[in-house]
Amino acid sequence: MNGSTACSTKCGGGGSSNKARAILNGVVGDYLDTTRNELAINMNLYPSPSGSDEPVDVSVADLALLDASRSASSFTSSQTKRRRVCILVHGLTDDESTWIMDDGTDYGSLLRRDHNILPLYLRYNTGLHVSTNGQKLSLLLQSLHQYCGSQIDSVSIIAHSMGGLVTRSACLNAKRRNMSWVRSVSHVVFLGTPHHGSPWEKIGNAISHVLDAVPRPYMKLAADVANLRSSGIKDLRYGYVLDEDWAGHDPNGLLDNTKVQDGSDLLPWSKYFAATGTVTVNPNHFASHLVGDALVRKDSAMGRSNDKVHDLDLDPENIQEFAGVGHIHLSSNMDVYRQIEDWITQPWDAYPSPSDYWEYNEGEGREDIETEQQSVAQSPSYDGKWSQARGLTTLIQDSVDKGTRAVEGVQRELTDEVYSVLTMIPAIAPAARTVHAVQDTCVGSVYSIIRGVNSGVGEATKQAFAMIENKE
């Protein structure tokens, strides 16, 4: 495969626009979701990582119809033969294209080819809280199990980076709410997952506080802008996976670890594995000990916490280090795939008896779960090019509106400082007050005109997009 083809494949069918949308969701996805912006990504499963497929409809109740290849005769017998399913969960600011290697293959397609395991690729808004995405994933997999459970032998999950936290959150949520799908989870593979956070989010948190502490309005504005980063990013400060970890706490508190989970959230009947990377070929190099795979330190990826209270019970025999493989490439490296293949094909006992692990009640909470499933299923999916264009227009409108208000506030505050000094001089105090009032009026008028033009042009642009879409 030549370079341009590989790039096209890696970027997905939508090219760079899909990737740009994924990045935008990672950075401000919670804002997009709250404002119902059409750029917000709705959680769905996809049959391939190409980016050009429609999301799978689990209600078809036939695993064969969810398979992207549907070519081998064995794939048409899902109604009578149970089949293993593998869910691939990407990380922050990513989408399903992260799994594609330079030769166009990916972990899922190789598992299908080599072991007839059905891969399904998750796409989601990584800017939402990890716990929110965990709840959504839990409901989505419950729907899959509800319609196709009789055809599923077991479920394996391969999760990269933040995806590992979302996976843990989904499993915890399912166990707490007596969801049946979680009993079929056989193997879970973490790839560079920041179980105890990433140093870069901690640094970002500290920098924001330093900026805010400087008694200048433009520095405080810089701190406010830095703190606009999404809830999903802030969850990576310490690896939050539950609502209780962050609810009721200041998300911008200085290095304030409010995690409540004690690390005992791993499913006792599932096999867990973890892969870590390093920035240097020599894994013992100082740089590799300092920054791990560049984004996640070794101890965090291995589930080891500083206080030992939050340690994950990962078997050291099931942890593999890949020297010289950086964080991004853990999701698309052939050596990593070979290790995953070895892990994911290890024998697993059949479905555990629920009573062996927790008090399971098949009917408990079912009505609430079904209501939430319908709510998730009915969430608007903004995948059309014109809907995304409208979403981008709305985001630009909001940015200009809020940005001009913030800059106007800084300008007024700086101006007030100057005139407060001038008005202390009796000889020029009256003139200074008059000039100050005139300047205030002019400044307010200029920014109001900018916001008015922004609003008018934005609404006209969105109407134009809507007319073009209707004609098509």
> For the segment 166-202, what is each residue's pLDDT rounded down to a tens digit?
999 999 999 999 899 999 999 999 999 999 999 999 9
If one compares 77 and 149, the residue with the highest pLDDT of the two is 149
Residue 8 has pLDDT above 50, yes or no: no
Strand order in the sheet with 44-46: 44-46, 118-123, 83-89, 152-160, 185-191, 271-277, 319-322
Q: Identify whether the C-beta of residue 343 lies closer than 8 Å to the C-beta of residue 189.
A: yes
Give me the chain's average pLDDT, please: 88
For residue 74, the model assigns a pLDDT of 44
For residue 10, the model assigns a pLDDT of 52
Q: Identify which of 85-89, 177-181, 302-306 has the greatest average pLDDT.
A: 85-89
Q: Identify whether the C-beta of residue 246 lies closer than 8 Å to the C-beta of residue 240.
A: yes
For residue 91, CA distances in Å to 178, 203, 230 come to 27, 20, 14
Of 74, 18, 23, 76, nearest to 49 by C-alpha is 18
The radius of gyration of the chain's CA atoms, rounded to the nearest angstrom, is: 25
Q: Residue 61 — left, alpha, or beta (φ > 0 → left; ψ -120 to 50 → alpha)?
A: left
Please state the pTM of the whole predicted model.
Answer: 0.89
Question: Which of 285-299, 313-327, 373-387 has the lowest average pLDDT?
Answer: 373-387
Distance CA 31, CA 20 (A): 16
If one compares 371 and 163, the residue with the highest pLDDT of the two is 163
Beta strands in 47-110 (DSSP E): 83-89
Cα dihedral 333, 339, 341, 344 in deg (nearest 10): -120
For CA atoms 139, 110, 12, 77, the dihedral sign is negative
CA angle 203, 248, 310 (to 5 degrees): 60
pLDDT class of 458 with cuts at 50, 70, 90: very high
For residue 362, the model assigns a pLDDT of 57
Distance CA 134, CA 240 (A): 11
